[in-house]
């Protein structure tokens, strides 16, 4: 049976940061977005409020800003190599993130079979963000189930990689999980834990599990 590897983005594939922070850095608004990351991490605001506030910060955002943010972000090493091997093994890999879809979906060009993020309008913005399209921790599980159906696997065939409380629901739903540069709140409930800057090393923990 094939396996489905489910990757979080912020703090997992991106080391110590989030896609919104990297995007905001291009506009000189990094500090404002770090504060929003801290607020959502502390449970002071929810994903819809977060999305609406970063949307307001990005009024002047252009495609060039997004490209620069993506290309200059602190990615873990060997992401593409891991996804290439997953494909070669006949398995599947997907990214499921609360970050904006226009950033997350770029990872399909690196080899992800699918990439899901909170639904934002196209850049530059000419319409508002729809709160109904903003993902949550629970939505990650629903998307994982949809991907299972698409790839004809079950939850029992899934491996999740994440770093924060937004990954707890998914970790609870699948049998194997890898906490990547996570604090003890997530590493305590994961099957494996990894700290470092190389995704291949995290992948090695589950590479031969069948």
Whether 144 and 170 have beta carbons less than 8 Å apart is answered as yes
Return the closest-CA partner of residue 169 out of 183, 155, 148, 157: 155
Report the SS3 class of residue 160.
Answer: strand
Supply angle C-alpha 91, 209, 190, rounded to 5: 105
Model pLDDT, residue 1:
85
Model pLDDT, residue 199:
98
Q: What's the alpha-carbon Rg for the chain, to the nearest Å?
A: 16
Model pLDDT, residue 184:
84
Low-confidence ranges of the chain (pLDDT < 50): none
Which residue blocks in 134-190 are alpha helix, DSSP H? Answer: 137-151, 168-173, 184-187
Query: Whole-prediction pTM value?
Result: 0.96
Residue 3: count of CB within 10 angstroms of its CB: 20
How far apart CA 19 and CA 71 sit, in angstroms, is 11
């Amino acid at each position: 049976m094939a396996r489905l590897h489910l990757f979080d983005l912020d703090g997992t594939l991106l080391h110590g940061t989030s896609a919104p922070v990297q995007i905001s850095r291009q506009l000189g608004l990094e500090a404002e977005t770090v504060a929003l990351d801290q607020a959502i991490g502390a449970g002071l605001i929810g994903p819809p409020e977060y999305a609406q506030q970063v949307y307001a910060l990005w009024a002047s955002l252009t495609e060039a800003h997004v490209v620069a943010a993506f290309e200059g972000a602190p990615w873990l090493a060997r992401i593409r190599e891991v996804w290439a091997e997953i494909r070669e093994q006949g398995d599947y890999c997907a990214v499921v993130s609360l970050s904006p879809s226009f950033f997350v979906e770029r990872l399909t060009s690196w080899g992800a079979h699918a990439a899901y993020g909170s639904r934002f309008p196209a850049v530059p913005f000419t319409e508002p963000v729809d709160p109904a399209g903003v993902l949550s921790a629970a939505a990650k599980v629903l998307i994982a189930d949809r991907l299972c159906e698409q790839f004809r696997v079950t939850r029992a065939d899934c491996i999740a990689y994440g770093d924060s409380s937004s990954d707890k629901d998914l970790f609870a739903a699948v049998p194997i999980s890898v906490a990547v540069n996570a604090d003890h709140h997530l590493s305590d409930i994961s099957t494996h834990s990894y700290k470092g800057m190389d995704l291949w090393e995290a992948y090695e923990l589950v590479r031969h599990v069948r």
